[in-house]
Amino acid sequence: MKIKEYFEKKNLASIELYFVVYRRAFAFVFDISLFLLSKYLHSRKDSHSVAHLNIVAKRSHLLARETHSSLSKFLRRP
């Protein structure tokens, strides 16, 4: 029975680790693309679009945080 529990825990830990790594990689790429898009909009003097872009960035980060905490709670459930 202990062997089965060990492998179940190890599998959940690896799934959570992969999720964290992929989430951080996606967030990094997403942040860079938002940064470049905002620089482009600033160069065009389009402040209205930059404001909308900032709102989208804040909402996406909040959603990513909520998704991560929900998945972590789900994976840690007995």
Sequence ranges of the domains in the chain: 2-76
CA nearest 64: which of 13, 27, 37? 27
Q: Is 24 within 8 Å of 16 (Cβ atoms)?
A: no
The pLDDT value given to residue 8: 63
Question: Which amino acid, one-letter code, is at 76?
Answer: R
Provide the residue-wise pLDDT of the chain in tens; the chain has 78 residues. Answer: 565 666 566 666 677 677 777 777 887 887 788 778 877 777 777 777 777 777 777 777 777 777 767 666 666 655
pLDDT number for residue 74: 65
Read off the pTM. 0.48
pLDDT at 2: 67
Q: Which residue's entry shows tokens 């959940």?
A: 12
